[in-house]
Amino acid sequence: MIETLEEYKKENKVLSRKLKLMEQSLSQFTSIKTNYDVLIKKLEEKDKNLRDINNKLEDLVSERTRELENINKQLEKNLRLLEELSTTDALTNLRNRRSFDEIFAQEFNRAKRQNYEFNFLIIDIDYFKKYNDFYGHRAGDEALKAVGKVLNKFARRANDFVFRYGGEEFVYISCFHDFKEIETLGNAIRKSIYSLEINHEKNPHNFLSVSIGGIVFKDKDLLIEEVFKTADDNLYISKENGRNKVTISI
């Protein structure tokens, strides 16, 4: 209990100091709370910005993925177009069907115009489907390459052309050979391929072999279609006669 004015004043000073300290503490707390609120707000804004950035990145990745897919589709389309326009068979490195269509007509018309022999052979691998089924397509590709190499060795002159016509079928065009020469050539091709001794258990001849049909003509009024049909008919005769045979007509 305060009994004197002096004691009152003294206690009042003490209370005033405590009040001041409390006000300072409250001010500091308020400042801390304000700073905390500001920090939280900034973090929330940053979190929102991060979410926005993440969304933008996802959109960008999706856009780039679509662009890459479109580019890949275009590349595949271009590769197919290049393959169609190319004159070389990718597997055997021989001239391809497209090249054949151009050169066949060119050489055929030249032979008729300049009146010299035109030689045309169709070479077909015997039982090739059975070979593929039994040994696998990779072995089949290797067999096609091997046949292609042999045929390429026989195309020595400027007027000799060898083509992979399609699948297991090849075509040989040359000029100036007479019947006897082209028959000898056909048998040399057949023997060379057979002498590779590529095992073929589904072939009665035990090794990979070819059947050949051809035509040699001069001074004949033939159409291109008739030349191909005659050679194809002779190929059929070679197959009917047991395969691994050569049949050529004049």
- For residue 211, give the amino acid letter: S
Helix (H, G, I), strand (E, B) or coil at 106: helix
How does pLDDT run across 55-89, given as a tens digit for each residue?
Answer: 776 776 677 778 767 777 777 777 666 665 678 99
Q: How far apart are CA 125 and CA 211, in angstroms?
A: 6
Q: Where is pLDDT greater, at 236 or 32?
A: 236
The answer to whether residue 226 is catalytic is: no
Among residues 63, 67, 69, 168, which one is catalytic? Answer: 168
**Mean pLDDT calculated for residue range 169-190:** 95
Using an 8 Å Cβ cutoff, are 90 and 83 in contact? yes
- Report percent pLDDT > 70 for the chain: 86
What local confidence, expressed as pLDDT, does residue 62 receive? 75
Q: Is the pLDDT of residue 196 over 80?
A: yes
Which helix or strand (DSSP H or E) is residue 230 part of? helix 224-240
Look up tokens 């197919």; give the residue: 80
What local confidence, expressed as pLDDT, does residue 2 receive? 47
Helix, strand, coil abundance in the chain, percent, nearest 5: 65, 15, 20
Q: How far apart are CA 248 and CA 216, in angstroms?
A: 7
